[in-house]
Amino acid sequence: MEIFYSIQGEGYYAGTPAIFIRLGGCDVGCVWCDVKESWNEADHPFFTVDEIIDQIKEYPCRMIVITGGEPLMYDMKELTTVLKGHNYQLNIETSGAYPVTGVWDWVCFSPKKFKTPDTSIYAHASELKAIVFNQSDFEFAEQHRSLVPKQCKLYLQPEWSKAEKMTPQIIDYAKAHPEWNISLQTHKYLNIP
């Protein structure tokens, strides 16, 4: 869909410059998705792996975030193998709705109620980033926490349109359950992509 250079706004690497590769196509259907224009793959241009390399080599940055859309709808083996061969750190943002493919340095797993994750994701999760849209999402977050590795970082991130209402509850929840950290979509406050 697009390639852009920005600052990772969310989760463990928040604040770190990163190249974003956003792949078009997603059938998970989150009602509050903030990139609904990504859903239809056919709306977006096709780039070969060589064209992607040509674009990203302009940026003085070694960290790539592959996102979407839902990147795991595709077999990520070829793209990630070639990018690894160029010595990039490869992070993925995924709902885990499809089997894990590709080679990853960091996996941000953000499970969705709208499409049950594939069981292959749990062993790969480096961070669990649960989106809090309403009260029931705390329980959903805990269900997934019980399935990820012990060292997996845990984040609660307010759904953007409900941030004002839910952030105070997220703060209280994290203080009562200090294994959880808070993740904010800082790029939206900074007005950057």
Ligand X SMILES: Nc1nc2[nH]cc(C(=O)O)c2c(=O)[nH]1
22 binds ligand SF4 (CB under 6 A): no
Question: Is 26 a binder of ligand SAM (CB under 6 A)?
Answer: yes
Among 18, 23, 28, 83, binds ligand SF4 (CB under 6 A): 28
Residue 112 per-residue DSSP state: B
Residues 94, 6: contact at Cβ < 8 Å? no
**What does 160 bind: ligand SAM, ligand X, ligand SF4, none (CB cut-off 5 to 8 Å by kind)?**
ligand SAM
Report how far residue 41's alpha carbon sits from residue 104's, in angstroms, rounded to the nearest whole number. Answer: 23
By three-state DSSP, how is residue 166 classified?
Answer: helix
Q: Is 185 annotated as a binding residue?
A: no
Annotated binding-site residue? 112? yes
CB of 101 to ligand SAM, least distance (A): 15
Kindly identify the residues of this chain, within the stretch 46-105, that bind ligand SF4 according to CB under 6 A.
68-70, 95
Tokens at residue 151, please?
């060292």
From the list 9, 25, 69, 117, which residue makes contact with ligand X (rule: CB under 6 A)?
A: 9
**Would you say 132 and 164 are in contact if contact means Cβ atoms under 8 Å apart?**
no
Tokens of 176: 């009562």
Rounded to the nearest 10 degrees, how much is the dihedral formed by the CA atoms of 18, 23, 28, 33? 50
In whole angstroms, the minimum distance from the beta carbon of 95 to ligand SAM comes to 4
Q: Which amino acid, 119?
A: T
Using CA atoms, how far apart are residues 55 and 34, in angstroms rounded to an integer? 25
Fill in the per-residue mask, 150 to 189: x = in contact with ligand SF4 (CB under 6 A), - = not in contact: ----------------------------------------
Find the helix packing angle between 77-85 and 49-56, rounded to 10°: 40
Q: Is 34 labeled as ligand-binding? A: yes
Among 63, 67, 97, 125, which residue interacts with ligand X (rule: CB under 6 A)? 67
Residue 55 burial (10 A CB sphere; 0-12, 13-18, 19+): middle
Can you give the binding site for ligand SAM, defined by CB under 6 A?
Answer: 26, 32-35, 67-68, 70, 93-95, 110, 129, 131, 157, 159-160, 185
Can you give the binding site for ligand SF4, defined by CB under 6 A?
Answer: 26, 28-30, 33, 35, 38, 68-70, 95, 112
Can you give the binding site for ligand X, defined by CB under 6 A?
Answer: 6-10, 35, 67, 93, 187, 193
